């Protein structure tokens, strides 16, 4: 096995190494480095990256990677794992989704070393990390004031990617189109099979989302034979694939009273929320336009006309079964989180 080269750093088989990869500078002439942690097994195997905070305010993924690195007994027996807890360092420093040039890093791939700041960071990340990987997992949350139910999004018409999504083992898998300029799009163009994990809310830790993400990454590593199989006979989560989803938007501006939460089953015609005026008048009702399960929701009790409020996924089968399964899985993961060593059993 050859040494892995990232920037000027070499990582040999069986070695773990922290790497600070220079990407740019601050106004103060201080270097901005991409933090990278590499674990290599002694045996040959695939190379996979796990990235977080491509949007600088999405912090659940940072915590997933932090906990994995510090998890006692977490080892890679074959292949190479590249962990990148913070891709958009600028955004994390400023608690902002965007880069300092106000560009969305996840719409700036593949980027260019002679382009905008976002384009330059994207180009470096693609060249130094993604281009060396056969697989990837990109960790995200909902936007500010919006929460996402733990879910995997992927291009499911690719059989191997579908198997990876199932191996991650969360109840909801969403067949999602590639978005121009996204890391996922650039990875697929590179030939890298990639999953996008969405869970929780920007600038907040959500323990259920973190636990599910940690277990999901470990499950994928085991699926790729980069870690030993589980010693316990855990029951695999029943999974549901949504080939379509839709946001329900506000018809009026005002104050919101929510009637439903993440993971709830809704039927076509259900009143998801009401919108009122400062004088207590009912201005509008937010109506489900199709039966499904809520996988994303706005949290702030204020809304502008046309704003997205509920993200509903549509499944073939019994939506009530899906809602019950999500609640059951949440209870299991929260209980497991009290015994972190169970992740590796």
Residues 195 and 291 in one domain: no
pLDDT on residue 37: 98
Residue 325 lies in a domain: no
Q: Which of 157, 131, 37, 44 lies closest to 86 in space, CA to CA?
A: 37
Residue 102 lies in a domain: yes
Residues 15 and 77 in one domain: yes
- Could you read off the pLDDT of 30-50 as tens digits, one per residue? 889 999 999 999 999 999 999
Residues 250 and 195 in one domain: no
Whether residue 236 is predicted with pLDDT greater than 70 in this model: the reply is: no
Rounded to an integer, the average pLDDT of 18-26 is: 93
Residues 165 and 312 in one domain: no
Rounded to an integer, the average pLDDT of 46-70 is: 98
- For residue 125, what is the DSSP state? H
Residue 205 lies in a domain: yes
Residues 161 and 217 in one domain: yes
pLDDT on residue 306: 97
The residues with which 255 forms a beta bridge, in sequence order, are 276, 302
Q: Which residue reads 């978005």 in tokens?
A: 179
Residues 257 and 309 in one domain: yes
Whether residue 252 is predicted with pLDDT greater than 90 in this model: the reply is: yes
Residues 262 and 303 in one domain: yes
Residue 207 lies in a domain: yes
Rounded to an integer, the average pLDDT of 161-174 is: 95
Q: What's the pLDDT band for 343 if we cut at 50, 70, 90?
A: confident
Q: Which of 6, 109, 133, 5 lies closest to 54 in space, CA to CA?
A: 109
Residue 113 lies in a domain: yes
More confident residue, 247 or 337: 247
φ, ψ of residue 261 to 5 degrees: the values are -120, 175
Cβ count near 283 (within 10 Å) = 15
Here the tokens at position 172 are: 């909801």
Q: How far is CA 175 from the centre of its chain?
A: 14
Residue 169 lies in a domain: yes
Residues 147 and 56 in one domain: yes
pLDDT on residue 230: 84
Q: Which of 250, 251, 263 lies closest to 292 in space, CA to CA?
A: 263
Which of 44-58, 151-165, 230-244, 251-265 has the lowest average pLDDT? 230-244
Whether residue 313 is predicted with pLDDT greater than 60 in this model: the reply is: yes
More confident residue, 234 or 104: 104
CA 60 → CA 19, 98, 104, 167, 216, distances in Å?
22, 17, 18, 20, 14
| CATH number of 280's domain | 2.40.50.100
Is the alpha carbon torsion for 49, 168, 194, 213 positive or negative?
A: negative
Domain termination residue (choose one: 229, 254, 274): 229
Domain termination residue (choose one: 200, 229, 258): 229
Residues 304 and 185 in one domain: no
- Could you read off the pLDDT of 96-126 as tens digits, one per residue? 999 999 999 999 999 999 999 999 999 999 9
Give residue 155's domain range.
4-229
pLDDT on residue 269: 97
Residues 296 and 208 in one domain: no
Residue 342 lies in a domain: no
CA atoms of 83 and 40, how far apart (whole Å): 11
CA atoms of 40 and 48, how far apart (whole Å): 11
Residue 111 lies in a domain: yes
pLDDT on residue 345: 72
pTM above 0.85, yes or no: yes
Going along 259-304, which residue ranges are E strands?
Answer: 265-266, 271-276, 282-287, 292-298, 302-303
CA atoms of 329 and 325, how far apart (whole Å): 6
Residues 183 and 48 in one domain: yes
Average confidence score pLDDT of the chain: 93
Rounded to an integer, the average pLDDT of 139-151 is: 95
pLDDT on residue 18: 98
Residues 209 and 300 in one domain: no
- Could you read off the pLDDT of 253-290 as tens digits, one per residue? 999 999 999 989 999 999 999 999 999 999 999 999 99
| CATH number of 56's domain | 3.40.630.10
Whether residue 342 is predicted with pLDDT greater than 80 in this model: the reply is: no
Domains in the chain: how many in total?
A: 2
pLDDT on residue 229: 87
pLDDT on residue 211: 94
């Amino acid at each position: 096995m050859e040494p892995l080269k990232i920037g000027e750093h070499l990582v040999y088989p069986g070695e773990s190494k922290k790497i600070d990869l220079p990407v740019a500078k601050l106004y103060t002439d201080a270097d901005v480095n991409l933090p990278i942690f590499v674990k290599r097994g002694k045996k040959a195997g695939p190379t996979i990256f796990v990235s977080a905070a491509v949007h600088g305010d999405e912090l659940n993924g940072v915590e997933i990677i932090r906990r994995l690195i510090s998890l006692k007994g977490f080892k890679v027996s074959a292949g190479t794992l590249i962990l990148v807890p913070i891709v958009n360092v600028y955004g994390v420093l400023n608690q902002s989704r965007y880069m300092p040039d106000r560009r969305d890093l996840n719409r700036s791939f593949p980027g260019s070393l002679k382009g905008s700041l976002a384009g330059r960071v994207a180009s470096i990340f693609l060249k130094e990390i993604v281009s060396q990987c056969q697989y990837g997992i990109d960790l995200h949350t909902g936007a500010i004031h919006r929460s996402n139910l733990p879910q995997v999004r992927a291009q499911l018409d690719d059989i191997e990617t579908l198997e990876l999504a199932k191996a991650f083992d969360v109840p909801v898998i969403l067949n999602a189109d590639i978005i121009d300029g996204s890391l996922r799009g650039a990875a697929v163009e590179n030939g890298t099979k990639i999953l996008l994990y969405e869970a929780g809310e920007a600038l907040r830790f959500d323990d259920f989302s973190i636990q599910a993400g940690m277990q999901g990454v470990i499950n994928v590593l085991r699926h790729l034979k980069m870690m030993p199989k589980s010693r316990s006979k855990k029951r695999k989560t029943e999974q549901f694939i949504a080939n379509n989803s839709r946001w329900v938007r506000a018809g009026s501006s005002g104050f919101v009273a929510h009637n439903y939460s993440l993971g709830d089953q809704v039927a076509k015609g259900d009143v998801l929320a009401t919108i009122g005026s400062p004088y207590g008048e009912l201005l509008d009702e937010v109506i489900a336009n199709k039966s499904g399960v809520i996988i994303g929701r706005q949290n702030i009790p204020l809304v502008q006309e046309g704003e997205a409020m509920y993200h509903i996924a549509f499944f073939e089968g019994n939506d009530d079964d899906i809602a019950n399964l999500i609640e059951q899985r949440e209870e299991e993961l929260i209980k497991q989180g009290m015994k972190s060593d169970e992740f590796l059993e």
